[in-house]
Amino acid sequence: MSNFNLSPLFRTSVGFDRILNMMDDLTERQPASYPPYNIEMLAENNYQITMAIAGFAEENIDIQQEQNSLIVTGKIADAKVTKERKFLHKGIAERAFKQEFQLEDHVKVTGAALENGLLHISLVREIPEAMKPRKITISSAGIDNKAVEQKSSIISSI
Protein backbone atom coordinates (compact mmCIF):
# COMPACT_ATOMS: atom_id res chain seq x y z
CA MET A 1 0.00 0.00 0.00
CA SER A 2 1.43 3.38 -0.91
CA ASN A 3 1.82 6.05 1.74
CA PHE A 4 0.13 9.40 1.36
CA ASN A 5 1.53 12.55 2.91
CA LEU A 6 -1.40 14.30 4.62
CA SER A 7 0.65 17.08 6.26
CA PRO A 8 -0.38 19.72 3.65
CA LEU A 9 -4.02 19.09 4.61
CA PHE A 10 -3.19 19.57 8.31
CA ARG A 11 -1.65 22.96 7.51
CA THR A 12 -4.60 24.25 5.49
CA SER A 13 -7.68 22.95 7.33
CA VAL A 14 -9.34 23.81 10.60
CA GLY A 15 -11.64 21.52 12.54
CA PHE A 16 -11.02 18.41 10.46
CA ASP A 17 -8.38 16.97 12.80
CA ARG A 18 -10.32 13.82 13.67
CA ILE A 19 -11.05 12.96 10.04
CA LEU A 20 -7.49 13.64 8.93
CA ASN A 21 -6.10 11.58 11.81
CA MET A 22 -8.37 8.68 10.82
CA MET A 23 -7.15 8.89 7.21
CA ASP A 24 -3.55 9.03 8.44
CA ASP A 25 -4.13 5.95 10.63
CA LEU A 26 -5.68 4.05 7.73
CA THR A 27 -2.61 4.58 5.57
CA GLU A 28 -0.28 3.35 8.33
CA ARG A 29 -1.96 0.31 9.84
CA GLN A 30 -3.28 -2.88 8.37
CA PRO A 31 -6.74 -3.99 9.46
CA ALA A 32 -6.75 -6.72 12.11
CA SER A 33 -7.58 -10.13 10.67
CA TYR A 34 -8.52 -11.80 13.98
CA PRO A 35 -11.24 -12.32 14.80
CA PRO A 36 -13.01 -12.20 11.45
CA TYR A 37 -16.03 -9.91 11.32
CA ASN A 38 -18.82 -8.55 9.11
CA ILE A 39 -20.38 -5.09 9.13
CA GLU A 40 -23.94 -5.00 7.82
CA MET A 41 -26.38 -2.20 7.10
CA LEU A 42 -29.75 -3.61 8.18
CA ALA A 43 -31.77 -0.46 7.47
CA GLU A 44 -31.05 3.21 6.76
CA ASN A 45 -29.91 3.94 10.34
CA ASN A 46 -29.41 0.42 11.73
CA TYR A 47 -26.18 -1.54 11.57
CA GLN A 48 -24.80 -4.80 12.91
CA ILE A 49 -21.26 -5.98 13.49
CA THR A 50 -20.88 -9.75 13.65
CA MET A 51 -17.62 -11.21 14.98
CA ALA A 52 -16.66 -14.91 14.84
CA ILE A 53 -15.32 -15.64 18.32
CA ALA A 54 -15.49 -19.42 18.74
CA GLY A 55 -14.43 -20.58 22.20
CA PHE A 56 -15.24 -17.29 23.97
CA ALA A 57 -18.00 -16.99 26.56
CA GLU A 58 -19.84 -13.81 27.54
CA GLU A 59 -17.58 -13.29 30.57
CA ASN A 60 -14.52 -13.35 28.27
CA ILE A 61 -15.75 -10.41 26.16
CA ASP A 62 -15.69 -6.70 26.97
CA ILE A 63 -17.48 -4.16 24.78
CA GLN A 64 -16.98 -0.42 25.34
CA GLN A 65 -18.05 2.66 23.43
CA GLU A 66 -15.78 5.66 23.96
CA GLN A 67 -16.81 8.77 22.01
CA ASN A 68 -16.56 7.68 18.36
CA SER A 69 -14.88 4.33 18.98
CA LEU A 70 -16.30 0.90 19.67
CA ILE A 71 -13.70 -1.33 21.34
CA VAL A 72 -14.26 -5.09 21.61
CA THR A 73 -11.72 -7.11 23.61
CA GLY A 74 -11.61 -10.79 24.33
CA LYS A 75 -9.44 -12.77 26.71
CA ILE A 76 -9.85 -16.31 27.95
CA ALA A 77 -8.81 -16.42 31.60
CA ASP A 78 -8.45 -20.21 31.84
CA ALA A 79 -5.06 -20.49 30.13
CA LYS A 80 -4.08 -23.30 32.56
CA VAL A 81 -6.92 -25.53 31.37
CA THR A 82 -5.74 -25.16 27.77
CA LYS A 83 -2.16 -26.07 28.74
CA GLU A 84 -3.31 -29.26 30.51
CA ARG A 85 -5.18 -30.44 27.44
CA LYS A 86 -3.30 -32.31 24.72
CA PHE A 87 -4.37 -31.36 21.22
CA LEU A 88 -3.62 -33.45 18.16
CA HIS A 89 -4.63 -30.41 16.09
CA LYS A 90 -5.55 -26.94 17.40
CA GLY A 91 -7.33 -24.92 14.74
CA ILE A 92 -9.50 -22.78 17.04
CA ALA A 93 -7.30 -19.87 18.04
CA GLU A 94 -8.89 -18.77 21.35
CA ARG A 95 -6.24 -16.06 21.56
CA ALA A 96 -6.78 -12.65 23.10
CA PHE A 97 -7.87 -9.88 20.78
CA LYS A 98 -8.72 -6.20 20.69
CA GLN A 99 -10.73 -4.87 17.77
CA GLU A 100 -11.55 -1.18 17.41
CA PHE A 101 -14.23 0.24 15.12
CA GLN A 102 -14.55 3.95 14.31
CA LEU A 103 -18.13 5.16 14.59
CA GLU A 104 -19.75 8.13 12.91
CA ASP A 105 -21.13 10.89 15.13
CA HIS A 106 -24.48 9.97 16.71
CA VAL A 107 -24.01 6.20 16.26
CA LYS A 108 -24.76 4.32 19.47
CA VAL A 109 -24.49 0.68 20.49
CA THR A 110 -27.95 -0.60 21.36
CA GLY A 111 -27.16 -4.18 22.32
CA ALA A 112 -24.99 -7.26 21.94
CA ALA A 113 -25.71 -10.99 21.83
CA LEU A 114 -23.49 -14.07 21.70
CA GLU A 115 -25.01 -16.91 19.72
CA ASN A 116 -23.36 -20.05 18.31
CA GLY A 117 -19.86 -18.55 18.51
CA LEU A 118 -20.92 -15.30 16.82
CA LEU A 119 -21.01 -11.97 18.64
CA HIS A 120 -23.70 -9.67 17.21
CA ILE A 121 -23.42 -5.97 18.10
CA SER A 122 -26.38 -3.77 17.18
CA LEU A 123 -25.86 -0.10 16.37
CA VAL A 124 -28.22 2.73 15.51
CA ARG A 125 -27.63 6.22 14.18
CA GLU A 126 -29.78 8.73 16.09
CA ILE A 127 -29.58 12.17 14.50
CA PRO A 128 -30.76 14.90 16.91
CA GLU A 129 -33.79 16.92 15.83
CA ALA A 130 -31.70 20.11 15.67
CA MET A 131 -29.45 18.51 13.02
CA LYS A 132 -32.19 17.06 10.82
CA PRO A 133 -33.10 19.00 7.67
CA ARG A 134 -36.15 21.20 8.09
CA LYS A 135 -38.44 22.86 5.59
CA ILE A 136 -38.44 26.67 5.59
CA THR A 137 -41.75 28.14 4.48
CA ILE A 138 -41.76 31.24 2.33
CA SER A 139 -44.21 33.88 3.40
CA SER A 140 -46.19 35.59 0.64
CA ALA A 141 -46.20 38.88 2.58
CA GLY A 142 -42.45 39.28 2.17
CA ILE A 143 -40.38 41.09 4.77
CA ASP A 144 -41.89 41.99 8.14
CA ASN A 145 -42.57 45.74 7.74
CA LYS A 146 -42.64 46.39 11.52
CA ALA A 147 -39.10 45.09 11.89
CA VAL A 148 -37.94 47.31 9.00
CA GLU A 149 -39.63 50.37 10.57
CA GLN A 150 -37.98 49.67 13.94
CA LYS A 151 -34.55 49.41 12.32
CA SER A 152 -35.18 52.67 10.42
CA SER A 153 -36.18 54.53 13.58
CA ILE A 154 -33.08 53.25 15.45
CA ILE A 155 -30.78 54.34 12.61
CA SER A 156 -32.40 57.80 12.32
CA SER A 157 -32.07 58.40 16.07
CA ILE A 158 -28.31 57.84 15.92
Give the pLDDT score at 4.
61
Give the pLDDT score at 41.
92
- For residues 125 and 45, the answer to whether their CB atoms sit within 8 Å is yes
Give the pLDDT score at 142.
59
Give the pLDDT score at 111.
95
Q: What is the pTM of this model?
A: 0.64
Domains of the chain: 1-30 (no CATH), 34-134 (2.60.40.790)
Count CB neighbours of 88 within 10 A. 4
Residues of the chain with pLDDT under 50: 1, 80
